[in-house]
């Protein structure tokens, strides 16, 4: 009989508690899947006295997570604390040092230190698994690393942050502004007390950096991701988007271009009829375009106790069964430096909302600035007349090089009749 797999879990919050519960609830089924029993032998968290709704009797407790990595009677350490540095990083390094497999849900850690950690795991002869770190319950890591292994990926894009997608959905459906919806989401526990990683695009960018490595065989390069969040999206933009046949989504996009690899997270106008436009609320989705498979779509719950535990436990099963692949699909030494594409060379369509003083000549001045930079207009909308007062003017462009768009916008912003900084949103067809 194969010996049980012994597991040490650091962090007993939403995800950690979920993992312990799932291991217990499905123990028989899991043992059948991997041919051996899975036993949690050690845990670590900050507060030993906190009631977590878990029976921890018979499980060794460690106040110091890094000490648990070396001292616990376990072959696998599961890191569910979070944060790109500090305890989580120390714990993972210590686990490698003593030759223990690591499973983590920590996207910040992998986005910041993915390539060196993959190399360290390989050197130690252990696994570094992280299915839960990207899109929670959706098995997108496995899909890219295994299911699509035969393909060459051209691009991928997705909704990787449930909180910001929920806020955008709620703004549109309940016709309330960003601050209002965010405050409610925080009160209801859908959004963190410090929402900045979610609404400023950082969380989605962490996940994108990981997917980019898996898709293109490059070293994780979080620093070259263009990151813009949703704080500046107004109800006006949401309404204009609907009127123009679009919907605003915080998209994460990674794309191979002739100039290098584009990695970007920003609010995006997508066709209202497109599949991605229909992904609402906290749901996540990833679309991958690869050759020869063509487009494939992955959708589901991107966070929460159950979905995240589902992904962590799948990684535990792989290790229990002896299935192990290089962290990013290819040996760490073969990961290449990422050549970032310069966004100034990006070509696409743009939506621009201006707040202008309603007086003769404004539209002519705006049009001149665009024409001088070779930006070709697709449409221009002006709503409501109110002589000498502030009115919105919205325009969309045909495909334009981003550098030209920026120059035109700088000129437009400097016009006396343009009363607020222009709001620019990229359009993806
Ligand atoms: N929540 C999700 O839906 C989700 C989805 C995907 C990925 N993730 C990732 O999963 C990880 C955990 O997230 P979570 O939502 O479960 O966080 P959480 O609920 O805040 O739990 C964090 C846990 O870490 C423990 N902890 C904090 N500092 C510690 C230290 N110095 N030593 C030992 N334990 C320490 C805490 O202990 P106490 O309980 O004693 O305070 C707590 O149990 C993060 O990397 C997160 O990004 C979360």
Partner residues linked to 384 by β-bridges = none
Ligand 1 centroid to Cα of residue 91, in Å, is 14
* From 10, 45, 88, 196, mutation site for ligand 1 pocket: most ligand atoms within 8 A of C-beta: 45
Q: Which among 178, 234, 229 is positioned nearest to 201, based on CA atoms? A: 229
Nearest CA to ligand 1 atom 47: 106
Confidence band, pLDDT 50/70/90 cuts, at residue 355: very high
Kindly calculate the radius of gyration of the chain based on its CA atoms and give it in whole angstroms. Answer: 24
**CB 81 less than 6 A from any atom of ligand 1:** yes
**CB 106 less than 6 A from any atom of ligand 1:** yes
Ligand 1 centroid to Cα of residue 82, in Å, is 5
Closest atom of ligand 1 to CA, residue 48: 40
**CB 111 less than 6 A from any atom of ligand 1:** no
pLDDT 10s digits, 69-90 = 999 999 999 999 999 999 999 9
Q: Which among 111, 375, 324 is positioned nearest to 219, based on CA atoms? A: 111
As a whole number of angstroms, the distance between CA 248 and CA 8 comes to 42
The more confident residue out of 192 and 313 is: 313
Upper half-sphere CA count for residue 128 (Cβ side, 13 Å): 33
pLDDT 10s digits, 241-270 = 999 999 999 999 999 999 999 999 999 999
Q: Is the peptide bond before 386 cis (omega within 30 degrees of 0)?
A: no
**CB 327 less than 6 A from any atom of ligand 1:** no
| pLDDT-wise least confident of 103-107, 279-283, 384-388 | 384-388
Return the number of other C-beta atoms located less than 10 Å from residue 258's C-beta. Answer: 6
Closest atom of ligand 1 to CA, residue 303: 3
**CB 163 less than 6 A from any atom of ligand 1:** no
Q: Which among 213, 16, 18 is positioned nearest to 106, based on CA atoms? A: 16
**CB 340 less than 6 A from any atom of ligand 1:** no
pLDDT 10s digits, 114-130 = 999 999 999 999 999 99
Catalytic residue among 207, 219, 249, 406: 207
Percentage with pLDDT > 90 across the chain:
95
Answer whether residue 348 shows pLDDT above 90.
Answer: yes
- Active site includes 207? yes
Longest dimension (CA), the chain: 86
Q: Which among 331, 315, 317 is positioned nearest to 103, based on CA atoms? A: 315
Confidence band, pLDDT 50/70/90 cuts, at residue 228: very high
Q: What is the mean pLDDT of residues 317-344?
A: 97
Closest atom of ligand 1 to CA, residue 64: 32
Ligand 1 centroid to Cα of residue 45, in Å, is 9
Contact 210, 200 (CB under 8 A): no
Answer whether residue 1 shows pLDDT above 80.
Answer: no
Ligand 1 centroid to Cα of residue 263, in Å, is 27
């Amino acid at each position: 009989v194969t010996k049980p797999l012994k597991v040490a879990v650091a962090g007993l919050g939403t995800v950690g508690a979920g993992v312990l519960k799932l291991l217990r609830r499905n123990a028989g089924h899991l043992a059948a899947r991997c041919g051996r029993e899975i036993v949690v032998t050690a845990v670590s968290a900050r507060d030993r006295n906190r009631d977590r709704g878990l029976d921890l009797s018979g499980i060794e407790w460690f106040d110091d997570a890094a000490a648990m990595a070396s001292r616990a009677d376990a072959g696998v350490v599961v890191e569910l604390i979070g944060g790109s540095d500090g305890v989580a990083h120390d714990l993972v390094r210590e686990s490698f040092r003593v030759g223990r497999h690591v499973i983590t849900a920590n996207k910040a850690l992998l986005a910041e230190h993915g390539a060196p950690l993959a190399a360290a795991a390989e050197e130690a002869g252990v696994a570094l698994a992280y299915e839960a770190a990207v899109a929670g319950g959706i098995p997108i890591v496995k899909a890219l690393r295994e299911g699509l292994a035969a393909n060459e990926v051209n691009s991928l894009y997705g909704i990787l942050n449930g909180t910001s997608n929920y806020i955008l959905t709620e703004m549109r459906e309940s016709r309330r502004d960003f601050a209002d919806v965010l405050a409610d989401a925080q009160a209801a526990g859908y959004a963190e007390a410090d929402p900045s990683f979610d609404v400023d695009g950082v969380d989605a960018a962490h996940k994108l950096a990981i997917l980019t490595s898996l898709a293109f065989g490059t070293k994780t390069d979080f620093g070259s991701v263009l990151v813009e969040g949703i704080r500046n999206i107004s109800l006006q933009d949401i309404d204009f988007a609907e009127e123009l046949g679009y919907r605003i989504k915080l998209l994460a996009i990674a794309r191979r271009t002739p100039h290098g690899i584009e990695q970007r997270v920003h609010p995006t106008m997508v066709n209202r009829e497109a599949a991605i436009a229909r992904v609402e609320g906290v749901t996540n989705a990833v679309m991958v375009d690869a050759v020869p498979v063509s487009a494939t779509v992955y959708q589901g719950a991107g966070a929460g106790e159950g979905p995240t535990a589902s992904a962590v436990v799948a990684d535990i099963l792989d290790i229990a069964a002896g299935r192990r692949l290089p962290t990013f699909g290819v040996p760490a030494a073969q990961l290449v430096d990422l050549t970032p594409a310069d966004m100034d060379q990006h070509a696409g369509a743009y939506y621009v909302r201006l707040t202008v003083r309603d007086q003769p000549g404004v539209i002519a001045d705006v049009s001149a600035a665009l024409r001088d930079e070779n930006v070709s207009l697709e449409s221009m909308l002006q709503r409501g007349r109110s002589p000498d007062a502030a009115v919105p003017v919205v325009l969309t462009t045909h495909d334009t090089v981003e550098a030209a768009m920026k120059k035109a916008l700088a000129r437009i912003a400097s016009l006396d009749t343009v009363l607020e900084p222009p709001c620019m949103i990229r359009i993806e067809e």
